[in-house]
Amino acid sequence: MKKTYFFMLLLLLAIAPVFSQVQFGARFSANFSKYTNYPDYVTMDSKAKFGQGGSFLLIIPVSEKWIIRPEVGTTLLNTEVNWESYGYNSNGNLTGTYKNSYEANEVMLSFDAMVGYKITDKFTVQVGPELLYSLSASAIFDDVIFVADDYEKTNYLGKIGATYTFWDHMFTDVHYATSVVKLSDDTRRHMIELGIGYTF
């Protein structure tokens, strides 16, 4: 037992300098999100619209060049979805094609854990997984808001990006994320994020 405590003490002493260098941070982001890969039998597409988010993060140095950056926050995603519908007469003949659209809005909890490599002291590239969990979803069609309740709430994405520190504690970043697991309707989510943050 004494040996166990001794080795635990040595481990704490070894990792203490690393955690003493951990930085806490807050980040605000703007995002553009859309869906792709609609089934062939559906005439649909989507357009990215402006969304926004806020999060808290940690920057954990692993070595002189490598860091781990876990982050948790909330994100509002907006997407315009367009599709075509067809009109037929009583004989089954096509009478017209009609274009429709609605705006999809989702409030998401976001969790990600990026691994970063410092190319310079100010510039870092990152890659890692991201989990989005939907807290609420709605659609606006003909100025009427419809609240969704039966939909896939969990999104699994892969994320890459880069961060540039332009002051001692201020940074800006850009990230691209895409679904690594298809959603229930076989579509994939794609998202670009532009962020600015502060570490302390």
CATH topology of domain 25-199: Porin (2.40.160)
> pTM of the entire structure?
0.79
For residue 189, the model assigns a pLDDT of 87
Determine which of 70-84, 109-123, 132-146, 181-195 has the lowest per-residue pLDDT on average. Answer: 132-146
Higher pLDDT, 38 or 88: 88
Whether 56 shows a pLDDT value over 80: the answer reads yes
Q: What is the DSSP string of the chain?
A: -HHHHHHHHHHHHHHHHHHTT-EEEEEEEEEEEEEE---TTS-EEEEEEEEEEEEEEEEEESSSSEEEEEEEEEEEEEEEEEEEEEEE-TTS-EEEEEEEEEEEEEEEEEEEEEEEEESSSSEEEEEEEEEEEEEEEEEEETTEEEE--SS--EEEEEEEEEEEE-SSSEEEEEEEEEESS--TTS-EEEEEEEEEEEE-
Q: Residue range 131-157: average pLDDT? A: 80
Please, which pLDDT band fits residue 8 given cuts at 50, 70 and 90?
A: low
Mean pLDDT (the chain, rounded): 82
Most confident of 6-15, 59-68, 93-102: 59-68
